[in-house]
Structure 1
């Protein structure tokens, strides 16, 4: 009898995989003016990979 070690067990996703959190990303390169490139994104783990979404800030005064 042989076992396939490449088979992954299927588990239900954890609750923490459904939570989006704000993450600061620093890209290891410099912009045209010599500064590091960085920004904020929404990030969550789907149980296998990280999923990223664009983060758009808004001014609270403009929304009122």
Structure 2
């Protein structure tokens, strides 16, 4: 729940604020070899800001 200062009441967060999305990020800079820097991250909105987590891929056969 969050507190809304204008109405002095508690309001529920939307359900979508609790869902993590897989997001591709492109950083506006170049790597050492001149290519753009990009990658995948987990992203969700907490009602005010975006929160990011590192996404690590793994080989499904190696995990079994």
Where on the TM-score scale, by shorter chain, does this alignment land: which range? 0.7 to 0.9
**TM-score, normalising length: structure 1:** 0.84
The alignment partner of 1:48 has SS state of: coil
Higher strand share: 2
**TM-score, normalising length: structure 2:** 0.84
The structure with the larger Rg is: 1
Measured on the aligned residues, the alpha-carbon RMSD in Å equals 1.2
- Aligned pairs for 1:1-64 (under 5 A) are 7-9=5-7, 10-64=10-64
Runs of at least 4 residues off by over 3 Å: 7-10
CA distance in 1, matches of 2:36, 2:28: 7
The alignment of Structure 1 onto Structure 2 pairs a total of residues equal to 58
Q: Which runs of 5+ in 1 are unaligned?
A: 1-6
Q: Which runs of 5+ in 2 are unaligned?
A: none
Distance apart, 1:58 and its partner CA: 0.6
The alignment partner of 1:23 has SS state of: strand
